[in-house]
């Protein structure tokens, strides 16, 4: 394969801020989106008419180029307030002094927009809101030249045959067929990636299509386009191609992944994606960088924290605890999600240490994570009982005790020593429900969160689970 920066291949996967897909009722936000270099950009605004997902959102667009010597352009969007309200952002416009290249309008705003970094214009994939699974809407793919001229429109049936379309996940609003894409600048081609989600969210093989930006002709692609993207890429957006190497188990991409990870010229986000992809191949060289960014207040912390286990494996447990120790509640939810991927054997010791430090945010985080480890968290039972028997030094002592109760319930019969404390709290906080189930074991039912429960009160439910 050629060197990392050879050719003019710019890999682009960009979605406008907070896109609304098939069943979304979110209000439309005007937005400004730039190519990965911040050189070319578009401004998209609602063009009257309805903005509901059922009838689509007509939009106007302006294509601009930043003035030579001016700084790269940052994206901008109106601020959403809930599902319906929008607060206008004055930055959503062509920047003063920049060059307006073209403008136009579209009957449906694209769901995803790919912007060329060499002045080829932009590409729209799928539509915002409902696509109704239409095979011949003309909105599945739209190619717009830099002067605003719509050069090509493609139906969904032009990209995938009926059998292929039938495999994609469906909902009331249509078919969720779009898995992303990018522009091959050197070849002037669009790579379209089909969704990997099928009916009932079943994983299905990725489909690749290649569309010629000049002729509009469509041909089949293969995972080889991902390898080409990595080997010929310049410093554009790499993340989707990198992620696909891991998903598709393209071990042949490892040399290019190593180059991407090792190059300090590459944006840090892409280097992190490369670290994760290498981690899935058993190469943990990205561990130090992942740790560094996880603690860095200015970097892409969410991705780093979320994917620590993919690179560090079980060694991520103490790092995730340290994230919460340093940052408190701000990153505890992300760390909690990541801790699901760490084994109970590895997670319990650092979580128990955090619990015993008695810092408010650390206590609640530790209890939530220990609860997810079930019987493997039995070593924490004595400390959980202490929390039940005295008022925790947290922002919401009752909630902390409820978290302890949930964790004890998930540990199950091994937590029998906690029953006296749980009974006392049940009598205090849920006397009617406790009286109802004191001598009777209720039926197990769904808790609406993917789990099971015997009772609505956390203390009563924990008792029922322990004595079951």
Q: Quote the radius of gyration of the chain (alpha carbons, Å).
A: 26
DSSP 297: S
Report whether 49 contacts 75 (CB < 8 A). no
Closest listed residue to residue 457, CA positions, set 402, 410, 416: 402
* Block residue for tokens 């291949």: 9
| Per-residue pLDDT at 19 | 41
* Block residue for tokens 């070319």: 40
| Per-residue pLDDT at 6 | 37
Going 71 to 77 to 81 to 86, the CA torsion angle's sign is positive
Residues in the chain: 468
| Per-residue pLDDT at 455 | 94
DSSP alpha helices (H): ranges in 198-286? 224-232, 239-247, 254-262, 268-280
Mean pLDDT calculated for residue range 108-133: 92
The pLDDT mean for the chain works out to 89
| Per-residue pLDDT at 55 | 57
Structure tokens at 245: 């190497």
CA distance 31 to 153: 23
CA distance 132 to 170: 9
Side-chain-side CA neighbours of 277 within 13 Å: the count stands at: 31
Report whether 410 contacts 417 (CB < 8 A). no
C-alpha dihedral, 450 to 452 to 458 to 461, nearest 10° = 180
Residue-wise pLDDT tens digits, 309-342: 999 999 999 999 999 999 989 999 999 999 999 9
Residue-wise pLDDT tens digits, 11-39: 433 333 334 444 445 667 899 999 988 89
* Block residue for tokens 């799928």: 126
Q: Is the pLDDT of residue 88 over 60?
A: yes
Report whether 135 contacts 88 (CB < 8 A). no
- Which pairing describes strands 218-220 and 208-212: parallel, antiparallel, or unpaired? antiparallel
Mean pLDDT calculated for residue range 43-56: 71
Q: Is the pLDDT of residue 215 over 90?
A: yes
Percentage above 70 pLDDT, the chain? 91
CA distance 242 to 302: 18
C-alpha dihedral, 278 to 283 to 286 to 291, nearest 10° = 110
What are the CA-CA distances from residue 136 to residues 36, 55, 384 (Å)?
A: 31, 16, 60
- pLDDT interval class at 4 (50, 70, 90): very low
Residue-wise pLDDT tens digits, 390-434: 999 899 999 999 999 999 999 999 999 999 999 999 999 999 999
- Which pairing describes strands 79-81 and 76-77: parallel, antiparallel, or unpaired? unpaired
CA distance 323 to 359: 13
Report whether 337 contacts 305 (CB < 8 A). no
| Per-residue pLDDT at 51 | 54
The ranges assigned to domains in the chain are: 31-237, 377-467
SS3 148: coil
- pLDDT interval class at 10 (50, 70, 90): very low
Query: Using DSSP, how many helices (H) and how many strands (E) does the chain show?
Result: 18, 19
Going 229 to 231 to 234 to 237, the CA torsion angle's sign is positive
Percentage above 90 pLDDT, the chain? 74
Q: Is the pLDDT of residue 188 over 50?
A: yes
CA distance 286 to 224: 25
Number of CB atoms found within 10 A of residue 274's CB: 31
Number of CB atoms found within 10 A of residue 223's CB: 18
SS3 308: helix
CA distance 419 to 393: 22
Q: Is the pLDDT of residue 211 over 60?
A: yes
| Per-residue pLDDT at 8 | 35
- pLDDT interval class at 72 (50, 70, 90): confident
Going 226 to 227 to 233 to 238, the CA torsion angle's sign is positive
358 versus 11: which is more confidently predicted?
358
Structure tokens at 274: 């490369």
Letter string b/e over residues 175-196, b meaning 16 or more CB atoms within 10 A of that residue's CB:
bbbbbbbbbbbebebbbbbbbb
SS3 23: coil
| Per-residue pLDDT at 1 | 38
Query: What are the residues whose beta carbons fall under 8 Å from the beta carbon of 426, sequence distance 6 or more?
Result: 433, 434, 457, 459, 460, 463
Least confident interval from 24-33, 49-58, 114-123, 238-247: 49-58
SS3 90: coil
- pLDDT interval class at 145 (50, 70, 90): very high
SS3 241: helix
| Per-residue pLDDT at 26 | 62
CA distance 130 to 52: 9
């Amino acid at each position: 394969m050629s060197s990392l920066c050879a050719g003019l291949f710019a890999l682009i996967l960009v979605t406008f801020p907070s896109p609304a897909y098939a069943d979304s009722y979110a209000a439309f936000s005007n937005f400004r989106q730039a190519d990965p270099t911040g050189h070319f950009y578009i401004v998209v605004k609602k063009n009257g008419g309805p903005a509901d997902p059922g009838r689509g959102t007509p939009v106007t667009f302006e294509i601009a180029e930043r003035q030579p010597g001016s700084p790269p352009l940052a994206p901008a969007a109106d601020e959403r307030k809930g599902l319906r309200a929008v607060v206008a952002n004055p930055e959503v416009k062509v920047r003063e002094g920049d060059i307006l290249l073209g403008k136009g309008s579209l009957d449906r705003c694209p769901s995803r927009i790919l912007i060329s970094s060499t002045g080829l214009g932009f590409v729209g994939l799928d539509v915002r809101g409902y696509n109704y699974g239409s095979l011949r809407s003309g909105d599945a793919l739209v190619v717009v030249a830099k002067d605003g001229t719509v050069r090509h429109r493609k139906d969904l049936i032009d990209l995938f045959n009926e059998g292929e379309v039938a495999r994609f996940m469906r909902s009331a609003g249509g078919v969720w067929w779009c898995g992303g894409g990018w522009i091959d600048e050197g070849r002037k081609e669009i790579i379209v990636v089909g969704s990997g989600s099928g009916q009932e969210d079943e994983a299905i093989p990725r489909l690749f299509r290649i569309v010629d930006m000049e002729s509009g002709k469509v041909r089949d692609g293969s995972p080889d386009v991902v390898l080409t993207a990595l080997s010929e890429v310049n410093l554009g957006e790499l993340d989707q191609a990198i992620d696909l190497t891991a998903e598709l188990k393209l071990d042949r991409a490892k040399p290019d992944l190593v180059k991407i990870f090792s190059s300090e010229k590459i944006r840090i986000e892409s280097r992190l994606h490369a670290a994760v992809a290498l981690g899935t191949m058993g190469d943990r060289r990205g561990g130090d960088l992942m740790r560094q960014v996880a603690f860095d207040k200015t970097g892409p912390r969410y991705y780093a924290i979320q994917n620590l286990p993919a690179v560090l494996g079980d060694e991520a447990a103490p790092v995730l605890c340290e994230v919460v120790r340093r940052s408190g509640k701000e990153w505890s939810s992300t760390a909690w999600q990541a801790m699901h991927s760490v084994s109970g054997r590895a997670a319990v010791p650092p979580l128990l240490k955090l619990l015993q430090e008695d810092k408010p945010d650390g206590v609640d985080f530790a209890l939530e994570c220990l609860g997810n480890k079930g019987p493997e968290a039995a070593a924490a039972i004595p400390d959980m009982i202490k929390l039940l028997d005295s008022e925790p030094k947290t922002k919401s002592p009752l909630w902390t005790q409820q978290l302890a109760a949930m964790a004890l319930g998930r540990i199950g019969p091994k937590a029998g020593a906690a029953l006296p404390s749980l009974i006392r709290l049940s009598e205090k906080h849920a006397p009617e429900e406790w009286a109802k189930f004191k001598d009777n074991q209720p039926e197990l039912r769904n808790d609406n969160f993917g789990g099971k429960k015997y009772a609505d009160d956390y203390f009563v439910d924990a008792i029922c689970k322990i004595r079951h």
